Amino acid sequence: MLRIAHELVEAMVAHARADHPDEACGLIAGPEGTGAPKRHIPMINAARSTTFYEFDSEEWKQVYDQMWDNDEEVVVAYHSHTHTEAYPSRSDAGIASQLGLPGAHYVLVTTKDPDVAEVRSFRIADEVITEEPIEVTGAPEAVQSYKFAHTPDSTVYDCS
């Protein structure tokens, strides 16, 4: 389960909407060894594509150097889908496996509906995709304009 503050979810959604119609990508770092997401790091989609994302290698190195200096690790790697549901594609699973972050949560935000962004979290290891629930902490009354979906039971939590 991904346990995350509503401010971080809102930051990912805002980044995804700001980069629309291109896919957005970024990370959320946390103190090393805790698995706790704390710091939002929006990044550049080097592919500048509506259907694909790629982390910029120079920016990736700078971000990793900063995380190293701060004793942080990647807790969440996220990107957006602009025209499809928030579910990893084959290329997404391949990218996640190449990143070499087996403990990370992979969050997808879809911006195909301009009013409601769907947010889902997955674990991806060796290109095997497993969806996990999301628990948003903090002030739930501040959470607006997105929904959480989790399969296989198809429960949808509308947060407004």
74-131 pLDDT tens trace: 999 999 999 999 999 999 998 888 888 888 999 999 999 888 889 999 999 888 999 9
CB 76 within 8 A of CB 27: yes
d(CA 137, CA 36): 12
Q: Give residue-wise pLDDT tens across range 2-54.
A: 999 999 999 999 999 999 999 999 999 999 999 999 999 999 999 999 999 99
pTM passes above 0.85: yes
φ, ψ of residue 101 in degrees (nearest 5): -120, 70
What letters, b where the CB count within 10 A reaches 16 and e where it falls short, cover 92-106? bbebbeebebeebbb
CA distances from 83 to 21, 97, 147 (A): 9, 23, 16
CB 13 within 8 A of CB 117: yes
User: Which tokens go with 9?
Assistant: 């979810």
CB 35 within 8 A of CB 86: no
